[in-house]
Amino acid sequence: MKPLTFTLKKLAPSKVDCRRLTPDKLEGLSIKQILEITLNNTFKVIDLFDIIGEDFEQIVFRNSSPQLAYIGHEMSRGSITIEADCGDFLGANMRGGHIICHGNAGDRVGDQMRRGLILIDGNAGDYCGSRMLAGTIGVHGQVGNYTGFGMKRGTILLTKPTNLHATLQDCGAHNLPFLKLLLNAIKPLKSKFSALNSIRVQRYGGDIACSGTGEILVLQ
Amino acid sequence: MLLNGIHIDDTFAEAFNMRGTRVIITAQNHKWAYHAANAMTGFATSVIGCGVEAGIERELSADETPDGRPGVNVLMFAMGSKVLMQQLETRMGQCILTCPTAAAFAGIDSEDQINLGKHLRYFGDGYQTSKLLNGIRYWRIPVMDGEFLVQETTGMVRAIGGGNFLILATSQASALHAAETAIVAMKQVPNVIMPFPGGVVRSGSKVGSKYPSMFASTNDAFCPTLKGLVNTELSDDIESVMEIVIDGLSFDDIAISMKVGIEAICALNKISGEKSGVKRISAGNYGGKLGPHHFKLHEILGGKST
């Protein structure tokens, strides 16, 4: 079965809310019904996307753009692959499954996510992992400001050092055996993270402004 | 039946149903994986006094373990699931949590899952964190050497305990040498452990005692120093008897290990024409009334003399 693929036909005049395009929400619908889904008040799927494929558990966004917001919102299973850039709130309120973004993502990646995995090959915007409850976010490129703002639990895995705000506290450099398990688990997912094998990280804990025990791990 | 001049008794070992589990212990190197596993499987020779029977099944190379570090497989058996669960958690807490660099993972799949790190996590006092990877939950517990990594549960399966055979020899040294030879060979067999010290037990027991408070006492019929006093099982030339007890995941696993062990002893008689001192191989049973599994020596060994 081929993944259900949404190919963006043209740039929209404003942001596009993609929260209804997840394996959970598309379950049981026909292609015709999907084409009639209203995204924002003004657009339907048919206005912006071509659709092919029949595997609703694997969704692909092709020719994507930073206008596409809320991709993977509240998803609990399956996978979403974004072949280029995407917009804000990627994987917000996510509850399971995984999202791979091969381009850059906007602000508030994984906002309030509870479970699941988000891997971004490019950069992420501000407030990456904000108010995260648990789960894992990996950003291979740069992150913006206020990464992990208000995070309670969960892991944000970075490959490059970044400036963090004061309530994420440096816990030092460590070899973490669990990282081997994590990297093994994400190796088959075909992202830039598949090539990583270091288990040595600088560990930052927080966000202590909300008694958080989350962590930001910067690979060394 | 004779194998290389050693008499194999026409008898059987009588074994019981048990519950078993396997845990993978890893550490920075094999030395520390063994420290952890030896502690965990210490004082676990017999369910009578130890609750569980446990042992190290085999060594694992770094590419065989979940976290890519050297490790060992531990097998643990108990008469019931409740005791197995209690003993596993106690031994995990006192022996694996405490051992530098050690980590623990499930070593066997089963619908029945028992706690490995599920309750140990509270040692983390709120700083414990979990990760769900490919449907498996792991716990990371901050400890003074770094992080203790442990899988939440492991599998529990139906198993068999009490497979055994007896080595009857002309001297204590001969009996022990034969037993050691058998253990070396039997350690190559998967899915079994020999839980007694060095894999060998010298205090075989019979049911009952002259003292009312004791349920079991020394197996006088096989005690060489009582040959003239009791209804002995030993001929004049036998001066020492040792037993190897085997617990395993299935009947076939135990049968194979018994075969491998007995054949290794009988092969001693072949080496450079030396005599092993072993005269007879027998097995322990209770007349077949107590245990549902009977390991008949002649059947296991193919029934043909050589």
According to DSSP, the residues that pair with A138 across neighbouring strands are: A119, A157
| Average pLDDT over every residue of A183-197 | 95
How far does A176 lie from chain B, in Å, by closest CA? 7
Across the strands, what pairs with B76? B21, B54
β-bridge mates for residue A157, sequence order = A138, A217
In this complex, is the C-beta atom of B94 within 8 Å of any C-beta atom belonging to chain A?
Answer: no
pLDDT at B305 over 80: no
Q: Which of B105, B138, B157 is the last residue of a domain?
A: B157
Report if residue B266 sits inside a domain.
Answer: yes
Q: Tell me the average pLDDT across B107-111.
A: 97
The residues spanned by each domain of chain A are 3-219
Q: Does the pLDDT value for residue B272 go beyond 60? A: no
Query: Do B150 and B171 belong to one domain?
Result: no
| CB count in 10 Å sphere of residue B191 | 21
Do B151 and B170 share a domain, yes or no?
no
B125 and B225 in a common domain? no
Predicted pLDDT at B232: 96
Per-residue confidence at B273, pLDDT binned at 50, 70, 90? low
The contacts of residue B55 (CB under 8 Å, 6+ apart) are B41, B44, B74, B75, B193, B194, B195, B199, B247
Residue B119, H or E segment:
none
> Residue B240: which CATH number?
3.30.70.520
Cα of B149 to nearest chain A Cα, Å: 7
Q: Do A177 and B129 touch (CB under 8 A)?
A: no
Residue B273: which domain range? 2-14+159-300
Examine the fold and report which residue of B95, B130, B157 is the final residue of a domain before the chain moves on.
B157
Which pLDDT value is given to residue B274?
A: 63
Topology of domain A3-219 in CATH is: Pectate Lyase C-like (2.160.20)
Residue B306 located in a structural domain: no
Q: How far is B134 from chain A (nearest CA, A)?
A: 7
- For residue range B169-195, list pLDDT tens digits in order: 999 999 999 999 999 999 999 999 999
Position B280 pLDDT exceeds 70: yes
Whole-angstrom Cα distance, residue B22 to residue A1?
38
CA dihedral B154, B156, B157, B158 (to 10 degrees): 160
Closest chain A residue by Cα to residue B151:
A178
Of A176, A184, A185, Cβ closest to residue B147: A176
Query: Residues B290, B163: one domain?
Result: yes
Confidence of residue B289 (pLDDT cuts 50, 70, 90): confident
In a domain, B305, yes or no: no
ipTM: 0.93
